[in-house]
Amino acid sequence: FTHLGSSAIELLVDMLGGEPPQRRRLTPRLVVRRSTAVPRTDS
């Protein structure tokens, strides 16, 4: 599921020709949650 989501996001980014703020917000959140498993509202 994550893989498909990443691919879809990358395709959208390619179409837009840039990195949307949504991707930046989702990526850190997922990484932080999986890495430390602690909710961070800071990022």
Which tokens in the block code for residue 34?
A: 């999986």
Asked if 13 and 20 touch (Cβ cutoff 8 Å), the reply is yes
Which tokens in the block code for residue 8?
A: 């879809």
Sequential pLDDT tens for the chain (43 residues): 456 677 777 777 777 776 555 555 555 555 555 555 555 565 5
Is residue 41 included in any domain, yes or no?
no
Q: How far is CA 10 from CA 19, 31, 38, 39, 41, in A?
A: 9, 17, 26, 25, 25
pLDDT at 8: 78
Is residue 43 included in any domain, yes or no?
no
Please give the tally of structural domains in the chain.
1
Is residue 21 included in any domain, yes or no?
yes
Query: If DSSP states are collapsed to H, E and C, what string results for the chain?
Result: CHHHHHHHHHHHHHHHCCCCHHHHHHHHHHHHHHHCCCCCCCC
